[in-house]
Amino acid sequence: MVAYADTSFFFSLYAQDANTAHAGRVAATLDAALVITPLQRHELRNAFRLAVFRREITLAECQNLLDSVEADTKAGVFDARQKSLAIKAGLKVKP
């Protein structure tokens, strides 16, 4: 099974907001891997930058969040599951 979440859910998982505790509880109960699309990663990065503009987080906090998303992406936290599904569907994927 694959679980899809919206960008606000990912924001709450990475940054501290009113929904962070609830998002963490939901994520902990999922039996499926969370899938994040390239568009969602883009939206998430923009959401972090908007939080800086709104003075909800500092620029340093924003950079740490951006680095965390990048590290998770490079580590295959999200893409590994997506690549596996694409290969099973007979699609070509980049290494």
More confident: 76 or 11:
11
pLDDT at 80 over 60: no
Q: What is the pLDDT of residues 20-67, one digit of tens each?
A: 999 999 988 887 767 888 889 999 999 999 999 999 999 999 999 999
pLDDT at 38: 84
Residue that wins the pLDDT comparison between 32 and 71: 71
The pLDDT of residue 86 is 66
Query: Which residue segment(s) compose the domain that 44 sits in?
Result: 2-88
Residue 93 domain-assigned (yes or no):
no
- Number of domains observed in the structure of the chain: 1
Using CA atoms, how far apart are residues 36 and 70, in angstroms rounded to an integer?
12
Under 8 Å between Cβ of 15 and 57: yes
In a domain, 47, yes or no: yes
Closest by CA to 70, choosing from 44, 89, 47, is: 44
| Backbone angles phi and psi of 23, in degrees to 5 | -60, -40
- Among candidate residues 11, 41, 38, 37, the one with its CA nearest the CA of residue 23: 11
Residue 94 lies in a domain: no
Residue 52 within a domain = yes
What CATH number does residue 73 fall under? 3.40.50.1010
- In a domain, residue 95? The reply is no
pLDDT at residue 19 in the model: 95
Residue 93 has pLDDT above 70, yes or no: no
